[in-house]
Amino acid sequence: MIQHIVLYPIIIQLLLAILMLFSWRSISVQKVISVTGSIFSLLIAVWLFTTVWNNGTLTVQSGNWEAPFGITFVADTFAATLVLLTGISGLAVSVFSVGTILKARLKFGFLPVLHFLLLGINGAFLTGDIFNLFVWFEIIIISSFVLITLGGEKKQLEGAVKYFTLNIFASVIFLTAVAVLYGLTGSLNMADLSLKIAAIENRGLVEITAILFLVGFGIKAAIFPLYFWLPASYHTPPPAVSAVFGGLLTKVGVYALIRVFTLIFVGDVFLENIILVIAGLTLFTGAIGALVQNNIAKMFSYLIICHIGYMILGLGLYTEAAIAGAIFYLIHDIIVKTNLFMVSGLIYRIKGTFSMRDLGGIYAKYPLLSLLMIIPFFSLVGIPPLSGFWPKLALISESFKIENYWLIAAVLFGTFITMFVIARMWADVFWKEGVKLPRLQNFRYFDILKIEKKIQIVAPIVFLALISLYIGFGAENIQQLSLRVGNELMNNQFYIEAVLGK
């Protein structure tokens, strides 16, 4: 029964969360369960990934109901890769939360909810049923609502109002799309839908359904012009929460877009053009937004939006190499964005502020830590040979092939502005002479923390920086992986055969 590994990443997160609920009163026990459990779930994700890599796509029919009647769980290379990345960044965030989240918040169940969130993310990646995907999305958003509001500060609640409104609205649109899809085909299994949608005569109706999906997932993925909730809310919770949101949540939306538009709605030129235009505009507007920010966490929020553009661009170009580029970018982006927000948390710990105007002098005080923090920054910008460079190469060369110079301009613009804002931030935060800030009362600055707390803050950053370095220097392996994923996604008969067993 080797295919049951598909369910393990979901089950372990559920078990962890339940175990932590049973030790509600003892935070130290919760901390131990969270960190050791995250290590285990990373190991399980590695196991799943190597099994899928060696044996091909695995499927489980839940309750032994044959597809397309029951709910299917599918681990193809794409899903297994993303579960692995969730394991990596889940472990980093778990350790970082243990180190930085205030005791008052941990007492109200921060850690169990974090694991419920990871449960939802793993489920969304592994399910092969469109309604089940909706349910996993709901698990994700309800956990994220708790994480974003826990603590109840004014800015958190204000951000949360925008966050929950747009996310519930996106869910309603997604549900509407599922309803129309069910009315059209009478099926919910994604592989089965792929066959049935291809056979439908009324293409207009199919196109409208596809646009409903584009809007529903687009709000979650924060694409232009549906992203305004993101910069209003992502900087409000503690950095550990921003890290898991920025690293994984928007990427679940991107995953859903890539899955739906390579499996169910394929070969529609009109939609591909729309996606290309959206990608270009996302790159452009996200970059412009990042340019004017003074708060580093807010600047990173805009960079999330800007870089979603690259992945959507790969989807819109719709060639094997372009999809592989998008996947490579996705792999790089999950690690680097998680790390970026943790770095912002470290900067906040050192100085007690996010404002670039007040920050400064970190390089003079902590030269080694600064050198560590430069790794995610340079990876983000994509200075060769670090990780952000390689996927852009594929995206630009594929844009040249269709001779769309606007897209190339958008990619270069996004990259250039990213480099500019990161360089300016580096000069402001690290090199500039530090302003003498009044020490805040009751704020635990980095230099007065105990050594074990320091390790809990720095170790996850080191861990993710090492992974980023591997993605950059071992680009050949990652490229091989992305090409295989691109190949599987473009030839969706593999997926359909694996699920329906034909």
CA–CA dist 81, 170 (Å, integer): 26
For other proteins, the closer of residues 138 and 207 by Cβ is 138
Question: How many residues in total does the chain contain?
Answer: 502
Which contiguous run of DSSP H or E holds residue 320?
helix 320-351
Name 353's Cβ contacts closer than 8 Å, sequence gap at least 6.
Answer: 359, 437
Name 479's Cβ contacts closer than 8 Å, sequence gap at least 6.
Answer: 324, 328, 390
Query: What is the DSSP secondary structure assignment for residue 58, as one 8-state letter?
Result: E
Strands 72-75 and 58-61, by their bridges, are antiparallel
Q: Is residue 179 near other proteins by the rule CB under 8 A? A: yes
Residues touching other proteins: how many (CB under 8 A)?
46
Span of 47-55, 230-238, 359-367, 489-497 interacting with other proteins by CB under 8 A = 230-238
Q: Is residue 160 near other proteins by the rule CB under 8 A? A: yes
Q: Is residue 145 near other proteins by the rule CB under 8 A? A: yes
For other proteins, the closer of residues 299 and 386 by Cβ is 299
Q: Is residue 302 near other proteins by the rule CB under 8 A? A: no
Q: Is residue 21 near other proteins by the rule CB under 8 A? A: no
Q: Is residue 141 near other proteins by the rule CB under 8 A? A: yes
For other proteins, the closer of residues 142 and 408 by Cβ is 142
For other proteins, the closer of residues 47 and 182 by Cβ is 182
Name 468's Cβ contacts closer than 8 Å, sequence gap at least 6.
Answer: 332, 335, 336, 339, 375, 376, 379, 386, 387
Q: Is residue 292 near other proteins by the rule CB under 8 A? A: yes
Name 202's Cβ contacts closer than 8 Å, sequence gap at least 6.
Answer: none
Q: Is residue 225 near other proteins by the rule CB under 8 A? A: no
Chosen residue from 34, 127, 189, 293 binding other proteins by CB under 8 A = 293
Least distance from other proteins to the Cβ atom of residue 460, Å? 26
Closest CA to 380 of 432, 429, 423: 423
Closest CA to 334 of 254, 415, 248, 223: 248
SS3 of residue 14 by DSSP: helix
Least distance from other proteins to the Cβ atom of residue 236, Å? 6
CA–CA dist 473, 113 (Å, integer): 35
Enter the tokens of residue 126. Answer: 């592994």
Which contiguous run of DSSP H or E holds residue 213?
helix 203-221
Q: Is residue 182 near other proteins by the rule CB under 8 A? A: yes
Least distance from other proteins to the Cβ atom of residue 175, Å? 4
SS3 of residue 127 by DSSP: strand
Q: Is residue 186 near other proteins by the rule CB under 8 A? A: yes
Q: CA triplet 99, 351, 307: central angle to 5 degrees? A: 75
CA–CA dist 311, 309 (Å, integer): 6
Q: Is residue 236 near other proteins by the rule CB under 8 A? A: yes
Q: At what angle do helices 190-198 and 250-263 cross, to 10 degrees?
A: 40
Least distance from other proteins to the Cβ atom of residue 344, Å? 14
Q: Is residue 180 near other proteins by the rule CB under 8 A? A: yes
Chosen residue from 161, 277, 288, 393 binding other proteins by CB under 8 A = 161
Contact 376, 336 (CB under 8 A): yes
Chosen residue from 159, 246, 316, 391 binding other proteins by CB under 8 A = 159
For other proteins, the closer of residues 51 and 171 by Cβ is 171
Q: Is residue 484 near other proteins by the rule CB under 8 A? A: no
Site string for other proteins, 345-374 (x = CB under 8 A): ---------xx-------------------
Q: Is residue 164 near other proteins by the rule CB under 8 A? A: yes
For other proteins, the closer of residues 207 and 358 by Cβ is 358
Q: Which residues bind other proteins (CB under 8 A)?
A: 131, 134-135, 138, 141-142, 145-146, 149, 152-155, 157-162, 164-165, 168-169, 171-172, 175-176, 178-180, 182-183, 186, 188, 231-233, 235-236, 292-295, 298, 354-355
